[in-house]
């Protein structure tokens, strides 16, 4: 049996599961997903370029790590598992919100995801799995938020960055 994703309705209620590949066929079927935005102490975010072997948006820039929780797995458990598998490290993760998006990648398929966003801090080595990640770079969050060269960004990157910026702004206001 291949990897399965958790299907959800518009209210976010579980509807069962489906093979991950089938969930991305055609217009896509709404399912749970997550993205992780790793930060460092200098206010930078770790971006990763998707492997050329990816079915959807190959070689596009995206967040630090993204995937789908398996049936019965929480977003945090899935994110911790995938960070280790894709980037070779783990760190404490904080959930910061959820958004839904639907994007078509030509004839390759689509994403229709209810995407949980998690963030965490990391200062050590990053060891990307080449089957998942082609390249990683640290970028200033403020520069990413004003970037206009986003043609090769995965469609879920900007909403996640905006959610992170809002969360960090609220945290600064609460402290200040």
Catalytic residues: 113
Are residues 69 and 40 in contact, defined by beta-carbon separation less than 8 angstroms? no
Dihedral of the alpha carbons of 40, 155, 159, 112, in degrees to the nearest 10:
-120
Integer Cα distance of 23 and 102 in angstroms: 12
CA dist 162 and 168 (Å) reads 10
d(CA 114, CA 101): 7
Question: What's the gap between Cα 38 and its chain centre?
Answer: 10
């Amino acid at each position: 049996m291949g990897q399965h994703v958790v299907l959800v309705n518009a209210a976010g209620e579980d509807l069962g599961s489906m093979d991950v590949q089938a969930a991305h066929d055609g217009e896509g079927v709404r399912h749970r997903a997550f993205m992780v935005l790793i930060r460092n102490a200098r206010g930078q975010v770790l971006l990763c370029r998707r492997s050329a072997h990816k079915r959807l948006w190959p070689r596009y820039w995206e967040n630090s790590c993204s995937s789908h929780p398996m049936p019965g797995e929480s977003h945090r458990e899935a994110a911790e598992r995938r960070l280790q598998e894709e980037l070779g490290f783990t760190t404490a993760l904080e959930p910061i919100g959820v958004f839904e998006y639907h994007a078509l990648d030509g004839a390759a398929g689509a994403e229709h995801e209810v995407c949980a966003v998690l963030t965490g801090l990391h200062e050590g080595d990053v060891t990307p799995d080449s089957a998942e990640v082609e390249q990683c770079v640290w970028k200033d969050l403020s520069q990413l938020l004003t970037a206009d060269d986003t043609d090769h960004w995965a469609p879920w990157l900007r909403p996640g960055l905006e959610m992170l910026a809002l969360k960090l702004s609220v945290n600064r206001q609460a402290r200040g």
